[in-house]
A and B are shown apart, each in its own frame.
Chain A
Amino acid sequence: MTTAAERLPARRTSGLLVRALRFVRHHLLTVYAMLAFAYLLLPIAVVIVFSFNNPAGKFNIVWQGFTFDNWLHPFNSPDVQQAVTVSVQIAALSSVIATALGTFIALALVRYRFRGNGATNLLIFLPMATPEIVLGASLLTLFLNNPLGVLPPLGFGTVLIAHIMFCISYVVVTVKARLVGFDRHLEEAAMDLGANEVTTFLRVTLPLIAPAILAGALLSFALSVDDFVITYLNSGSVVTFPLYVWGAARTEISPAINVIGSAIFFIAIAIMLVNVLWQWRRQPKGAV
């Protein structure tokens, strides 16, 4: 009996110790996660903070003083404005085209069983598994050789083609992921009620998969605006925003670059936040 009584407090302290250790370990993971978040967000903070800098020299690297001027006149140099315009034009065109082509492929892959399924999936996967420099290099050799002489000279057209090419796969993957849970009974119901295939597609299928298509389009737009490597190799003399930054980085880094970088960041975050909030509202209350 006495031995049991002696053991009890001992066990209690070891229980406390375990709990303390567990407490520390939980928090260790939390601390680690916070540090990792800091690492992820620190450079973004630098970009935003330095967009308010009032640099003394040509390089916006050392903090000098606070100013709103950069934000009030982001397009001080016509080159920046031109580059941003080109970027937006290419992103808009390429995301529309890539989204159309990619959505059709995704529909075929999810909805139909057909021969060549495996080959199709492989051809979708390969561009995503190829390093950008190799993608850009092989496209460049095609444009330089220009078989049949029908391809545009290096410039806006070639960049557009390149962007559509690398966006298609991402659209297919995005749309496919959202289509898998699609309830086909809804379409069958429409057909039973006398709608033909086109009407069913336009009135039932399209509205249901619209969020998936929108997600694919947004992703394409983001990929296109951000692309440097492939664009750089195939640009000829056309200058997109990333190419402008690349060229400018050697001679000067103006706060305008930070302003536009921050603006792109805030727009993207706003879109994502709307999306997150929207998902939250659709979740039943109490669900995690």
Chain B
Amino acid sequence: MTFLHRHRWATPYLLLLPGMAFLAVFFLVPTYYLANTSLQSGDLFSGYVFSWAWENYTDAVTRYQAQFLRSLQYAGLATLLAFLISYPLVYWIAFRGGRWKNLLLLFIIAPFFVTYLIRTLAWQTLLGDEGFVVQTLQTLHLLAEDGRLLATSTAVVAGITYNFLPFMALPIYVSLEQIDQRLIEAAEDLYASRVMAFLRVTFPLSLPGVFAGTLLTFIPAAGDFINAQLLGTPHQSMIGNVIQSKFKVIADYPEAAALSFVLMSAILVVVLVYARVLGSERLTG
């Protein structure tokens, strides 16, 4: 303790040390090894050695272009759907929820309490050929007699939307909740219609939440492979499916590592463009 008294400046660093050291060793160092592995060549039996094998990257981009594009498309679509579903929902909770707000929020995060894989399997049951969703759509002739939902892009996007929806809903809720009601009243006092007041006051004020929610949904969605695996077919396979099978099934570590880096960069580019479009300096700064 005398040491602490004499060196008070050291206290925050002592508090930080164990946790940050752990993150450095098991988050930063692995990133180095991922980069290192992505430039290795060889095969599983003779071993992989570092050899500046940039062809892993050209291979990754050319051979798996379709899966990359599909990942970004599915993730983008799911993010949009999650936004359209959750915005009105959390708006309703924030402004009409009253005393029940916390309880209603519990409903939104309830899906998180069911193991990820199990709730995706539940979608398998729901969308299955004998399930009532397909039967109903067929009765209404919205789906052909031999039409399917399971094993289609629709099912995969629906699954991704469902699984990441709370990530979209919660940040939007937080930013709606923080809005000073008097601002909206002021807009209405100044003869803005309710629609105008929403468009010019409420919605712009909720944009930080929309921004955060979009990123929190899009990033995990772009890397996901469980929905494509359980609800789709190889025709719906996303880049995550390729990466996981290269690591776990065929043990082509260098290619898998290169794919992971390309995925990270692709996500980063999309996020930066999106941030620029939305003017995030204003939002987050």
Q: How far is the CA of A50 from the CA of B118 in the complex (A)?
A: 11
Nearest A residue to B261 by beta-carbon distance? A134
In this complex, the interface size class of chain B, counting residues with CB under 8 Å from chain A, is: 35 or more
The reply to whether the CB of A123 lies closer than 8 angstroms to some CB of chain B is yes
Q: How far is the CA of A101 from the CA of B23 in the complex (A)?
A: 10
Q: How far is the CA of A102 from the CA of B26 in the complex (A)?
A: 15
8 Å CB contact of A168 from B15, B22, B243: B22
> Is B30 touching A139 in the complex (CB atoms < 8 A)?
yes
Q: Could you tell me which residues of chain A, from 1 to 58, have a CB within 8 Å of some CB in chain B?
A: 22, 29-30, 32-33, 36-37, 39-44, 46-47, 50
Q: How far is the CA of A145 from the CA of B35 in the complex (A)?
A: 12
Q: Can you name 16 A-B pairs with beta carbons within 8 Å? A: A30-B96, A40-B110, A43-B126, A44-B111, A44-B119, A105-B20, A112-B12, A132-B220, A134-B264, A138-B33, A140-B247, A229-B226, A229-B244, A242-B115, A242-B116, A249-B121
Main SS of the interface on chain A?
A: helix
Q: Could you tell me which residues of chain B, from 176 to 205, have a CB within 8 Å of some CB in chain A?
A: 194
> Is A43 touching B122 in the complex (CB atoms < 8 A)?
yes
Q: How many residues of A contact B (CB 8 A)?
A: 86
> Is A131 touching B23 in the complex (CB atoms < 8 A)?
no
- Cross-chain pair count, CB within 8 angstroms: 234
- Shortest B229–chain A CB gap in Å is 9
> Is B230 touching A131 in the complex (CB atoms < 8 A)?
no
Q: How far is the CA of A9 from the CA of B65 in the complex (A)?
A: 66
> Is A242 touching B117 in the complex (CB atoms < 8 A)?
yes
Main SS of the interface on chain B?
A: helix
The reply to whether the CB of B123 lies closer than 8 angstroms to some CB of chain A is yes
Q: A46-B126, A100-B18, A104-B19 are in contact. List 10 more A-B contacts (CB 8 A).
A: A22-B194, A37-B107, A43-B123, A50-B122, A62-B130, A169-B23, A229-B244, A265-B110, A268-B113, A276-B106
> Is B18 touching A101 in the complex (CB atoms < 8 A)?
yes
Q: How far is the CA of A101 from the CA of B20 in the complex (A)?
A: 8
Q: Which B residues are CB-close (under 8 A) to A130?
A: 219, 264
8 Å CB contact of B117 from A46, A164, A172, A228: A228
Q: Which B residues are CB-close (under 8 A) to A46?
A: 122, 125-126
8 Å CB contact of A133 from B16, B29, B244: B244
> Is A41 touching B107 in the complex (CB atoms < 8 A)?
yes
- A40, A172, A233, A262: most-surrounded residue (chain B CB, <10 A): A40
> Is B263 touching A134 in the complex (CB atoms < 8 A)?
yes
> Is A228 touching B116 in the complex (CB atoms < 8 A)?
yes
> Is B18 touching A134 in the complex (CB atoms < 8 A)?
no
- Stretch of B55-63, B136-144, B252-260, B275-283 with 4 or more beta carbons under 8 angstroms from chain A: B252-260
Q: How far is the CA of A169 from the CA of B27 in the complex (A)?
A: 11
A165/B102 contact (C-beta < 8 A), A104-B16, A144-B253, A265-B113 known: no
> Is A276 touching B122 in the complex (CB atoms < 8 A)?
no
- Shortest B209–chain A CB gap in Å is 15
- Shortest B16–chain A CB gap in Å is 5
8 Å CB contact of A33 from B27, B88, B117, B256: B88
The reply to whether the CB of A245 lies closer than 8 angstroms to some CB of chain B is yes
Q: How far is the CA of A124 from the CA of B126 in the complex (A)?
A: 38
A residues with a Cβ closer than 8 A to B are 22, 29-30, 32-33, 36-37, 39-44, 46-47, 50, 61-62, 100-102, 104-105, 107-108, 111-112, 114, 120, 123-124, 126-127, 129-135, 137-142, 144-145, 147, 161-162, 164-165, 168-169, 172, 196-198, 222, 225-226, 228-229, 232-233, 241-242, 245-246, 249, 253, 257-258, 261-262, 264-265, 268-269, 272-273, 276, 279-280, 288
> Is B260 touching A123 in the complex (CB atoms < 8 A)?
no
> Is A138 touching B89 in the complex (CB atoms < 8 A)?
no
8 Å CB contact of A165 from B11, B23, B98: B23
> Is A101 touching B22 in the complex (CB atoms < 8 A)?
yes
Q: How far is the CA of A108 from the CA of B12 in the complex (A)?
A: 5
- Shortest A118–chain B CB gap in Å is 13
> Is B33 touching A141 in the complex (CB atoms < 8 A)?
yes
A197/B260 contact (C-beta < 8 A), A142-B26, A269-B113 known: no
A245/B121 contact (C-beta < 8 A), A104-B16, A141-B253 known: yes
Nearest A residue to B114 by beta-carbon distance? A265
Q: Which A residues are CB-close (under 8 A) to B128?
A: 61
> Is A134 touching B16 in the complex (CB atoms < 8 A)?
no
> Is A44 touching B243 in the complex (CB atoms < 8 A)?
no
